[in-house]
Structures are given as structure tokens and as C-alpha cells.
Amino acid sequence: MSTKARNEFGGEFGGVSLRGEAHSLSALFIVALRALIGGMILFAGIGKVQGWPFDASGYLVHGVDAASPVSGLFAAMAGSPLLMEIINVVIPVTQVLIGVALIAGAFVRLAALGGALQMLMFYLGGWEGELLALFDSTLIYAIVFLTVAAFGAGRILGVDAYLERLDVGGQPLVERYPKLQYLLG
């Protein structure tokens, strides 16, 4: 009888039970995926910072397809000088922070959610209403970010593994503050 731990995962979704067993290389690949998607968004943010001042108004006005469900919202955002000042800082700064967090494996779920939200907004902005839009790279990136979060990729060679075990008042951090498990991992 083998004493080796099994890499089982699964859950219940809409009454359907999904169960699986991960290969021993899965941990390596989830770390690689976390680092690659983190590097992708980090360098996107660095590119915007290096080209400072960054200006998203061109994309919001001209880069959004008229068929997009957010075209009116994006045009309205571009029409507000105050909102544009905020967006022009938030986009590059959050991209850099998300990238650094994912590469380090720190606050992975929070960072991955931020990355997924950005990709979803870019996806909606470029949506032309066609079925082929399901295969758009920004939607695929959003799913990759969510996959990294779902697998708790920060627990594998990441800062989150250390943070979750950090002793706070005689208890591991996530036992003392259970809601942190939604940000870490």
C-alpha cells in the first residue's frame, strides 16, 4: 500500500460532481502559469509606465467596437477628464502590482481577480458580438487568471504559503482571520 499523498481536487457545480487527480507535475505547471501570466501583465504595466503619461482615452473612444455592450460606458468614461486621470494611473499601476504579486505568489487570489477583471473589461471592449469572440485572447487570459486563483497558486513556492502559516496569537493567520483565505492562496 502506497503512503504517497494523492493530488485530488474537485467540487460540486450545479448538481454535477467534478473530481480529478492531478499529475505530480501539476504543481510545477501551476507555478509556471502563475509566473507567466504575472510576467505578461507586469510587462504590460511597465510598458505603460515607461511611456508615461499613459492615456487610455484613445482605446476607450476608438478601440471599442460599436457592437460592444460597454461601448457607451467606455465613451462616457473617456468624456470625463477626472475619471480619465484616475483610469490613466489605475490601469498601469494595478498591472504592475498584479504582476509583481503573481510572480512572488503574494495575495494571489486578489491579484488574479484584479487581472481577470481587467481582461474581462478589455474583452467586453473588443467584443464584436460574434461567436468567435469566445476565443478572444483577453477572455482566455481572464480564465487563466481565474485558474491561477482557483488552484491557490500562491501556496506553491509563493509568499502566500508563508503568510497563511504565520503565527498570530498562537494560530495560523488564516485560522485566526478566515476571510484572508479569499485573498491569499
In this prediction, the residues of the chain whose per-residue pLDDT falls under 70 are 1-6, 131-133
Q: Is 44 part of a structural domain of the chain?
A: yes
CB 121 within 8 A of CB 70: yes
Q: Is residue 48 part of a domain?
A: yes
131 within some domain: yes
pLDDT at 109: 95
Judge whether 159 lies within some domain: no
Q: What is d(CA 150, CA 101) in angstroms, rounded to the nearest whole number?
A: 16
Task: Give me the count of residues in the chain.
Answer: 185
User: How many domains in the chain?
Assistant: 1
pLDDT for 131 equals 67
68 with 126: CB under 8 angstroms?
Answer: yes
Contact between residue 102 and residue 41 where contact means Cβ atoms under 8 Å apart = yes
Range of the domain at 44: 28-103+114-153
List the grid coordinates of 112: 488574479
pLDDT at position 39: 97
| Rounded CA separation 154/164 (Å) | 10
Structural domain contains residue 164: no
Residue 43 lies in a domain: yes
Residue 10 identity: G
Residue-level pLDDT at 84:
92
Q: What is the pLDDT of residue 1?
A: 46
